[in-house]
Amino acid sequence: MLSNANLFSAYKGFAISSETNEGCFSLLRIKGRLIFTWLAALSCPRGMNGMAYIESLLTKCASLSHIKQVQAHLITTGTFQFCPSRPKLLELCAISRCGDLHYAISIFGQISNPLTNDWNAVIRGFAISPTPTYAVTWYRSMSRASSSKLDALTCSFALKACARALALVEAKQIHCQTIKLGVYSDVLLKTTLLDVYAKAGELRCAKKVFDEMSVRDIAMWNALIIGLAQGDDPHGALSLFKRMREENLMPNEITVLGALSACSQLGAVKEGERVHRYIIEEKLDSNVIVCNAVIDMFAKCGFVDKAYMVFEKMSCERSVVTWNTLIMALAMNGNGVEALALFEKMKKCGVDGDGVTYLSLICACNHAGLVEDGIRVFDLMVACGVQPSVKHYGSVVDLLGRAGRIEEAYRMISSMPVVPDVVLWQSLLGACKTYGNVELAEIASRKLVEMGSNSCGDFVLLSNVYAARKRWDDVGKVREAMKNRDVRKVPGFSYIEVEGEIHKFVNGDQSHLKWREIYVKLDEIGFRVREFGYVPETSYVLHDIGEEDKEKALCYHSEKLAVAFGLIGTSEGTPIQVIKNLRICGDCHEVIKLVSKIYNREIIVRDRARFHRFIDGSCSCRDYW
């Protein structure tokens, strides 16, 4: 045991090195229990009690070893069970970089009667850990414990875990509990709850929580705008962005990212231009992520020239994502040669391509029919050490299949080092339909069934392959299989922006205020395109109905409704732009080509895969899609 004289000598050594954390904790580590007791009593600065000094030590902890030493001090002095600083010790161990959540749990296990803040520390730790669901488990255990009471922080931490795990049911249960506990008015809690609902796609509940808030900060607005944009309500995201501006709030980088995403989905270029002007006015374009989003927005609205202009005028340093975004923009518009030229420029600027770069380039070659260039890009990627993924192989298979090199595409699938996915087999099946290869179509179809695919398109393609060979019995078997498996077609819809307002159409839609005028226009279009030799391609209609009914079904596809509304809702010579959620069908493609010639209109249709720009009876895809 050390004498008082030795203690004093040790204290002098500690005082000399007390400017550093390590000096303090070295003393604790070396001198053992007696020095801990002495330190609490004698080494506190004048005017500071022992507990205040412990808190000051906690702020200086820089490693788990330091945390353990403070814990040891609390245990050896007998203050661990009632020390007010214990929750801070737990929190430090549970959430800091120098901590260890598992060790925090072991500390918690030593507490005889855990208090609310003790529980909160561990729940918070799990909420930000790789296993956030455990936070909800601890929350439930805490709600059953008698020594502690749930508070607003407890609920907020548990809700944060729900947001990360997309645990909607649990979030709703906690929501109800916050009302019963009387803590629902807490601003932080409501913000977190809104974030959960927005991320989980429960947008109705998110809006309700938002409207109930008496005070809203920028996190709150952003959470809902991003949630709406990423969910199924881009209209709502733009409306909320406008409302935010009307209330004289200043959107930040996150806000404009949500608004730009909504504009991209809707093809709302006018709204996108307004957001872009705000970005420039508030100098948010110094952020490369924001610039990338602007480029993406213009590209997805069909204005590659404007996307390129933003790219050229960027004041911040371009990232590889910037280059990739513009390359993919060119790819979607069928500008394969320009995409390859941009890649060469990218290399000259010293920017190395990544997997996304090469995928974008192969897609560009695919949409432009540059088969040999696409294969060359794939080989270059491998030579540069970029590991091909199933998406790269899928894009090359699609490239070969579209060019009629179906056997070569099948050999690539068979020799792939990665397991083919559903999309890859669907690409091969689509090529088999185009070129009438029944044998490989049946192989691809069997693979899709084995993989559990229940897509309507798979059955449609196989049925069309059989129909082309007049194998009607097999067509009937495919139709029967569709009925037995309850295969349902994904509903198609199209957007069009007219005078700054977004209009949505579904197949056979009669909900629009001007639907009667639209249908009159469709009748006119039908009459005029027939004068140019148009014959309806009824093979695209799978319903077991007569030819006349099939023609009517084709007439009311959503993209045709949108184009008809564009013709009556915009002035002559104005381009018409339509956004579609599915691939454009062959019949609609043929009709819109003729409409562009007859009505002297440029018509831009963005489908699920690419842009089709119709001018004077021709399409930018050159019918290669």
Q: Specify the range with the lowest mean pLDDT, choosing from 83-87, 149-153, 221-225, 440-444.
A: 83-87
What tokens were used for 92? 């430090």
Percent above pLDDT 90 for the chain: 40
- pLDDT (0 to 100) of residue 33: 40
Give 239-245's long-range contacts (Cβ < 8 A, gap of 24+): 241/275, 245/278
Q: Specify the range with the lowest mean pLDDT, choosing from 61-75, 136-150, 398-412.
A: 61-75
pTM of the model: 0.70
Report the C-alpha gap between 211 and 213 in whole angstroms: 5
Q: Would the pLDDT of 264 be above 60?
A: yes
Average pLDDT over the chain, rounded to an integer: 83
DSSP calls for 223-292: HHHHHHHHTT-HHHHHHHHHHHHHTT----HHHHHHHHHHHHHHT-HHHHHHHHHHHHHTTGGGSHHHHH
Angle between helices 355-368 and 320-332 (to 10 degrees): 20
Report the C-alpha gap between 222 and 228 in whole angstroms: 10
**3 state SS of 405:** coil
pLDDT in tens, 19-57: 333 334 434 443 344 333 334 433 445 545 566 767 777
- pLDDT (0 to 100) of residue 24: 40
Residues 87-110 have a mean pLDDT of 85
Going by C-alpha positions, the residue among 217, 208, 158 that lies closest to residue 183 is: 158
* CB-count burial class (<10 Å; 0-12, 13-18, 19+) for 109: exposed
pLDDT tier at 355 (50, 70, 90 boundaries)? very high
Report the C-alpha gap between 271 and 332 in whole angstroms: 21
- pLDDT (0 to 100) of residue 38: 36
pLDDT tier at 107 (50, 70, 90 boundaries)? confident
Cβ distance 406 to 428 under 8 Å? yes
Q: Residue 494 forms beta bridges with which residues?
A: 505, 580
Q: Would the pLDDT of 484 be above 60?
A: yes
Cβ distance 251 to 287 under 8 Å? no
Going by C-alpha positions, the residue among 172, 161, 226 that lies closest to residue 199 is: 226
pLDDT in tens, 533-570: 888 776 555 444 445 555 566 788 899 999 999 999 99
Higher-scoring residue by pLDDT: 11, 176:
176
- pLDDT (0 to 100) of residue 609: 81
Q: Residue 576 forms beta bridges with which residues?
A: 603
Residues 6+ apart with CB under 8 A from 355: 381, 386, 387, 388, 389, 392
**3 state SS of 85:** coil
Residues 504-525 have a mean pLDDT of 92
Pairing of strands 493-498, 501-506: antiparallel
**What is the amino acid identity at position 10?**
A
Residues 596-622 have a mean pLDDT of 90
What tokens were used for 581? 């959620």
Angle between helices 187-199 and 218-230 (to 10 degrees): 10
Q: Residue 497 forms beta bridges with which residues?
A: 502
pLDDT in tens, 205-263: 888 888 888 777 788 888 888 888 887 788 889 989 998 888 888 999 999 999 999 99
Number of residues that this document lists for the chain: 625
Residues 512-517 have a mean pLDDT of 93
pLDDT in tens, 385-411: 999 999 999 999 999 998 899 999 999
- pLDDT (0 to 100) of residue 589: 92
Report the C-alpha gap between 321 and 261 in whole angstroms: 16
- pLDDT (0 to 100) of residue 317: 92
Angle between helices 187-199 and 203-212 (to 10 degrees): 160
Q: Would the pLDDT of 276 be above 90?
A: yes
